[in-house]
Every structure is written in structure tokens, then in C-alpha cells.
A and B are shown apart, each in its own frame.
Chain A
Amino acid sequence: MTETPPDPVAPGVPAQIPEALAVPKARRPLPVVWLIPLVAALVGGWLAAKTILERGATITIAFASAEGIEPGKTRIKYKHVDVGQVTTVALARDGTGVLVTAEMVKEVDPYLVEDTRFWVVRPRIAGGQVSGLGTLLSGSYIGMEPGHSGEHAHEFTALKVAPIVTGDLPGRQFVLRTPNLGSLDIGFPVYFRRIQVGQILAYELDEDGTSVTLKVFIHAPYDRHVGPNTRFWQASGIDLSVGAGGVSLQTEGLFAVALGGIAFETPAGHAGEAQAVPNTEYLLFEDRAAAMRQPDTRGVRYAMVFNESVRGLAVGAPVDFRGIPLGEVLSIEVELDAKTNEIRIPVEVVLFPDRLRARNRGDAAPQDPKAVVDALVAQGFRAQLRPGNLLTGQLFVTLDFFPNARKVAVDWSADPPVLPTVPGNLAQIEATLMSVAKKLDALPVEQIAAELRQSLASLDRLLASADKAVRRVDDKVAPEVAAALQEARETLATAKRAMTAATDSTLAADSALQTETREALRELTRAAQSLRSLTDYLERHPESLIRGKQEQPQ
């Protein structure tokens, strides 16, 4: 807009108003002001360009649930570096999960490949380790681990749980099979000679539901101690087993006691063998003893029919021969013989004949096992139930020779063949105890008790009268006795006095009695002397009693 020249001064304008000064016309300023929108446009354009250029790929990740994920807040981190941010969280079209859309930074574009893994990081206490504690304050974030595939991808499925070890950790992974998980869990330790050398990565129930598959990771350099013959076992908690062998307690380190874990070891004969290939499958044994036991190659099944209580006999109880375990109980059943209406308890056992044979090296031609067993049974080879532990009442099956047993043959027609049995010691003891109990039962206990009560009553009466008598004695006799004693004491004193007087009079040396007594005694001595000479003479000359005294020839 051009400047319009001022109007001429109108008439009537007060003359006091001063005249404007005329100055040289200023140079028309450049329209500098238009630089401002230009700069603004440049800045805005630069910001827009920067935003567009810095924006990386937009990816979608499928989660089972959006717990802890907030659009606009939750970050995606790789090695704790922010590499993206969640923009939207939406339900999957089929409603089974959640689709999380995230914008990644440009730098991680090369890592967004098919096997890249994502998971939600939450605080977790597993295997004695606390992880993700920072997320307690800052909220969950999504962890990322780049894959190795060459195929780029923008759609991912998140892991259900955060992986324990990331791909670049040196070590090897192995697979373990176990009938049940025990107290194990993800992140639990794996021990080798009580050193923690690895962790449990994952567990999964097999499709047929019969066993559990565990994945364990053994860190380098310990992974080279895992060979093809290595045995793994559960070091879970305290292994307190009460068997026929008594009480045994085994532990594996304090942590394993508190929570659990897995231990492995290579049996002595196989140490130093080649290393195992990753993902080799192993059996996970219940305990170390089971793991290290010589594997039984060949088991033979037999049945044994017991006609007594099998209370205390458990599946897995040992079958031994004179203390050597030869096998174990497989099953205990009850069957009804339809023909005889008889209920029997067949116990199925598995015997490992190789254990018998181990020492029997060099023996030539192997005999027919049936013939051997027949021969043994003919010698009185029988099975018997025996109490392994009287306290707990555990039973085990023992095999031994009973030469006095009734002769029977092995029933080879049955499946499995039936070995003959003899009643157990326990049954015999029971029978004895029963007969004792019966005798006790027959005793006329009530009658005895009645008589005993009568006797006790009369005794009571007797005691009462005795008590009365004693009281009477106390009341009447005692004073008289006291008086009598007093009199007796007086009498004695008198007697003492009389005695003293008599002694004084009679025993004096010059008293008449003394003199006469002495005379009399002298006379008596002389009479005795003549009497002795007479008896001497009569001894020598007994005839003188008849013939009289003869003169002795000179």
C-alpha cells in the first residue's frame, strides 16, 4: 500500500497547531518484514523434514495382553537404549490378543528381521535373581532382541515371558525330559559340582501330556562338561526319602534347598568324552542315586500272588535277594477269581537278571532262563513280604530259599509268569499275636475282678478292726504299762540295793561263808582226785569190780 499524501490543511484548523517539519524523503526500506515468514517457513519445513527423516519403521507386535503397555509412554529398549515408542494399543481383530503399534528409530531398521524377539519387561523374582526392578518405578517397557534372519519384517509376535539369556551369550542349550516339573521354574539354577553353571530357560508340557520338556542353558566354559553320557537330576529342595533302607537326606546347596534346581554329572567311566551337541535330549532323574545307577538294560516281569495284607508295600519298593536289590515293584492289583470267588493280590515286579550275572563273568553257554528259574524254585526259591522298617511299616519283597516250602511249579502260562510265594514273617507274627489275644480274651476277667473286689473289701474291714484294736491299746494298756514300768524300776532299785548289801556281806575275804566255801571246795577237789584214781584203776583192772583188788606182784 502506497502512502497517500496528507490532505491539505482544512480551513478552521486552529493556527496554534505547529507545522510538521519537512525532511528529506527517507529511502524506502526493503521489505525486510517478509523475511520473517520466510524464516518461519524454513524453520517449520526443517522441523517437518527432520521428523519425517528420523522416523523409522512402524511395526506391530502381537501381545497376549496389554498389561503395563501404555500408548505414547511405553518404550521399546534394546540393551537399555530407547529404540522406539508405542503409539497405539488395539485389540486384535479376532479378540484373542492385543496389537501394539510402535514407531522405531531409524537406527534399528536393520535389526527388524523375522526372528527378532519382543517381550514386556516387568519386575520379576525368579531363580533367586531379581530383574527389571527399575520398571517398578518407571513402568514396564518392551524389550527387544535382534534376530539373525535376513528377512525384514514389520509384524512380530511377542514372547510370553522375558528370555533368560539373550542370543549372544556364550554357552549351549540342552533339552531335558522329566515326568513332572517338581519345584522347578524358569530361571532356576543348574549346578555342576555345586557351582551354578546354567539356568532353566523354559519348560513345556509335551503334547500328549505324559512328560515335561525343559530347556536348560549351560554357560561357557562349563558347557564342555556335558557329554553324551552326562546324567541330570533334580536337586530340588530337600530330598528326604523314607524307604525300606531307612531315612536318607540329600541336599544340594542352600539355594537348592530353599527352592530347587538341577544338577548334572558325568559318571566316572565316561568323563572326558566328547562334548554333547547343542539341544541333545537327556532324561531328568528324580535324584542323584537314580541318575548315577547303572542303567538296567533288560527287565523281566514276574507276578507274585500274596494271600496277606500288602499294606506298606508301595510301587517302587525294592525286590531283593539276601539284601541285594534285584528289581522293584511295578504294580499292586486286586483281582477276583471268577471261578472260585477268591480275591487275590497279584504284585507285579520287574527283575533285572543282569545284576545277578554281573559277577558271573566268563561263564560259558547262557542257560535257558526258564530252566534256571524252575531249578531254583525246585530248591525252594520263594518270594516273601518282609517289613523293611518296623516303625514306618514299609514292606519289601524278598527272594530267598525256603527248603521246607510246599512244592509248587512256576506258572509260565500266565503273563507275566507267576513266582510262588510263602507267607511273610509278619503274617506269622500276626497269627501268633492273634492266638495270644484269643487266650487273653478267654480269661474270666470279670469274675476275677469281682473276687478281687470282695477280697479288697474284707481286707478293708480287717484293717479297720486292727485300727480299732491299736487305738484301744493306746487308750487303756499304755497307762498301765507305764505304771508297771515305774514299779519295776523301783523293784530293780531295791534289788540293786539288796545285792550291794549281800555282796558286801558275803564276798568279803574274811567272811565265814568265804572260808567255808573254800574248805568245801578243797574237800571236793580231793574227792575228785580219789575218784579219778579209782576210775583209772578200774580202767586198767575192770575185773576188780568182781574179783576185788589184787595184790600186784613185785
Chain B
Amino acid sequence: MNAAAEAARQFGAARVGLLSCHACGLVSRAGGTRGALACPRCGEHLHRRKPNSVARAWAFLIAAAILYLPANLLPVMHTRSLFGAQSDTIMSGVVFLWTSGSWPLAVLVFFASVTVPLLKLIALAVLLISVQRRSRLLPLERTRVYRMVEFIGRWSMLDIYVITILVALVHMQGLMEIAAGAGAVAFGAVVVLTILAAEAFDPRLIWDPLEEEHDRNAA
């Protein structure tokens, strides 16, 4: 690791009394005042770290975890056709794809719709716990995990997207009809809540314990 990176690791903007605006990115002096601060350019509130970051992230995460159960247990899609009515959960769809021989597709759906949300939940939970315990282990790796979670977030809406299109397109009265089930709503809520949780989390918190340790060592 080069010196610049080492320096960056130990001397964040906050360490030198600077704050960056969340909205417009302008860096400004904190000025040592105890009151609330605002961005001189756009007027946005300035914080050294996202306020209440961990609590908010926890709230979203817990809500997402609760809704993860109905998302997987309740049917996401009701199909009614000449050949009878059918309700499919995500898992039954995976099982159907698997038994009908489309293994790659089954694996893909299982990965994208079941595993990824679960991994997201676990990853965020691990990040939050580690931050709360002021862990100094593997900060770089944890940051990468966070970036990945943030990146994947929006792609998890693919299922909902497919269902929405099917409901809108397949609408032949009497012949076939597809309706979204309660599971789809729950699934969408899980995805949105995990995105919000990732958004609420402040990755800079990962590095704060390291800086403190450095300060102590320096002192």
C-alpha cells in the first residue's frame, strides 16, 4: 500500500476540520462551532457523518428481514388460464424450472431472487454489527462489500419488473390472466428497504475506529 493511500486512510477530511456537503459535494470548514452547520453553497445540512446512520440502517434492515419471509412464502403470481388456476411462489417457480430441465435458468432465478436478497441482508447486518463493535478488522474488504451491496441493490428489482410486465401484457379475458400476488409486494418492499438500509449506512464509519487508534498511538 503506497503512502498516499496510507495517508488517506488515516487522515480523512473530518480529521482536518472539513465537511463535505451530501448534496452538492462542496467541502467547507467546520469552524469549530457547536451548533448545526449548513452548506454555504446549497444550504443543505452538514454533518460530519450521516446522522443516526446505524440506527436508521438497522430499522430498514429489520423491516426488510421481516418482509423477506412473506416474500418467499406467499405467491408472487396468480396465473389463471383455461388449464386451471395456479399460484406460484418464488421457490415453486424455481422448482418448476429445475424439474422441467431448465437448470441454468433455475439457478439464475434462485440466485437472483432468493440468495442475493438474503446475502444483502446478512452483509448489511455484519457491517452494522462490526461498526457498532468498533471493529478494526479488514476495513478495506468491508468497504468493498458495502460497495457491492449498493451496486447490486437496484438489480434485485428484476423479478418485480418481469411480473409487472406479465401482468400488464398477459390480459386475455377468459383465456389467461396473470395477477401479482401479495408475495410480489413483499418482495418489492424487501428490495426497496435493503436499498434504503444501504443508503442509510455511512461507510466512513468503518474507518473511524482505525483513525482513533492511530490518534491514540500518536499520542
Given contacts A4-B49, A9-B16, 8 further A-B pairs with CB under 8 A are A1-B55, A6-B37, A8-B17, A9-B30, A10-B17, A18-B40, A22-B37, A34-B59
* Residue numbers in A under 8 Å from B37 (CB-CB): 6, 20-23
Tell me the B191-211 residues at the A interface (CB within 8 Å). 193, 200
In the assembled complex, A73 has its CB within 8 A of some CB on chain B? yes
Given A7-B16, A23-B35, residue A73 in contact with residue B52 (CB < 8 A): no
Judge whether A1 and B34 touch: CB under 8 Å: no
Binary flags per residue of A32-63, CB closer than 8 Å to B gives 1, else 0: 01101101110110011000000000000000
In the assembled complex, B8 has its CB within 8 A of some CB on chain A? no
| Chain A residue with Cβ nearest B53 | A1
Judge whether B66 and A20 touch: CB under 8 Å: no
Q: Which residues of B contact A (CB under 8 A)?
A: 14-19, 26-41, 43, 45-49, 51-56, 59-60, 62-64, 66-67, 69-70, 74, 82-84, 86, 92, 182, 186, 189, 193, 200
Per a CB cutoff under 8 Å, which of B32, B36, B43, B52 touches A31?
Answer: B52
Q: How far is it, in angstroms, between the C-alpha of A20 and the C-alpha of B24 when the chains are bound?
A: 13
| Chain A residue with Cβ nearest B45 | A26
| Chain B residue with Cβ nearest A74 | B84
In the assembled complex, A3 has its CB within 8 A of some CB on chain B? yes
Judge whether A9 and B32 touch: CB under 8 Å: yes
* Residue numbers in A under 8 Å from B30 (CB-CB): 6-9, 20
* Residue numbers in B under 8 Å from A338 (CB-CB): none
Judge whether A36 and B18 touch: CB under 8 Å: no
Q: How far is it, in angstroms, between the C-alpha of A43 and the C-alpha of B30 when the chains are bound?
A: 44
Distance (whole angstroms) from the CB of B175 to the closest CB of chain A: 11
In the assembled complex, A13 has its CB within 8 A of some CB on chain B? yes
Number of residues from A at the complex interface, CB < 8 A: 39
* Residue numbers in A under 8 Å from B63 (CB-CB): 36-37, 39-41
Distance (whole angstroms) from the CB of A516 to the closest CB of chain B: 142
* Residue numbers in B under 8 Å from A138 (CB-CB): 82-84
Judge whether A47 and B182 touch: CB under 8 Å: yes
| Chain A residue with Cβ nearest B57 | A33
Q: Which residues of A contact B (CB under 8 A)?
A: 1, 3-10, 12-13, 17-26, 31, 33-34, 36-37, 39-41, 43-44, 47-48, 72-73, 75, 137-139
Judge whether B36 and A23 touch: CB under 8 Å: yes
Judge whether A139 and B17 touch: CB under 8 Å: no
Given A4-B49, A13-B18, residue A21 in contact with residue B70 (CB < 8 A): no
| Chain A residue with Cβ nearest B41 | A18
Distance (whole angstroms) from the CB of A17 to the closest CB of chain B: 6
Distance (whole angstroms) from the CB of B66 to the closest CB of chain A: 4
* Residue numbers in B under 8 Å from A34 (CB-CB): 55, 59
* Residue numbers in A under 8 Å from B45 (CB-CB): 23, 26
* Residue numbers in A under 8 Å from B52 (CB-CB): 1, 31, 33
Q: 12 pairs across A/B with beta carbons < 8 Å? A: A4-B49, A10-B17, A13-B16, A20-B30, A20-B37, A22-B33, A22-B37, A33-B56, A33-B59, A36-B193, A40-B67, A44-B69
Given A20-B19, A26-B45, A37-B59, residue A43 in contact with residue B29 (CB < 8 A): no
* Residue numbers in A under 8 Å from B200 (CB-CB): 33
* Residue numbers in B under 8 Å from A23 (CB-CB): 35-38, 45
Q: How far is it, in angstroms, between the C-alpha of A528 and the C-alpha of B102 when the chains are bound?
A: 156
* Residue numbers in A under 8 Å from B82 (CB-CB): 137-138
Q: Which of A12, A41, A47 has the most CB of B within 10 A?
A: A47
Judge whether B66 and A139 touch: CB under 8 Å: no
Q: How far is it, in angstroms, between the C-alpha of A7 and the C-alpha of B86 when the chains are bound?
A: 62
* Residue numbers in B under 8 Å from A47 (CB-CB): 70, 74, 182
Q: How far is it, in angstroms, between the C-alpha of A137 and the C-alpha of B67 when the chains are bound?
A: 36
Q: How far is it, in angstroms, between the C-alpha of A396 and the C-alpha of B49 when the chains are bound?
A: 119
Per a CB cutoff under 8 Å, which of B39, B48, B66, B92 touches A6?
Answer: B48
* Residue numbers in B under 8 Å from A13 (CB-CB): 16-18, 29
Judge whether A37 and B66 touch: CB under 8 Å: yes
Judge whether A139 and B55 touch: CB under 8 Å: no
Distance (whole angstroms) from the CB of B14 to the closest CB of chain A: 6
Q: How far is it, in angstroms, between the C-alpha of A21 and the C-alpha of B45 when the chains are bound?
A: 9
Judge whether A19 and B29 touch: CB under 8 Å: yes
Q: How far is it, in angstroms, between the C-alpha of A21 and the C-alpha of B63 when the chains are bound?
A: 36
Judge whether B83 and A21 touch: CB under 8 Å: no
Per a CB cutoff under 8 Å, which of A21, A40, A137 touches B66?
Answer: A40
Judge whether A19 and B28 touch: CB under 8 Å: yes
Judge whether A40 and B189 touch: CB under 8 Å: yes
Judge whether A6 and B189 touch: CB under 8 Å: no
Distance (whole angstroms) from the CB of A166 to the closest CB of chain B: 23
Distance (whole angstroms) from the CB of A486 to the closest CB of chain B: 112
Judge whether B92 and A20 touch: CB under 8 Å: no
Q: How far is it, in angstroms, between the C-alpha of A3 and the C-alpha of B202 when the chains are bound?
A: 13
Distance (whole angstroms) from the CB of A13 to the closest CB of chain B: 5
Per a CB cutoff under 8 Å, which of A6, A25, A72 touches B19?
Answer: A6
| Chain B residue with Cβ nearest A75 | B84
* The 7 residue pairs across chains A and B that have the minimum distance between CB atoms: A9-B17, A6-B30, A10-B16, A40-B63, A138-B84, A37-B63, A37-B62
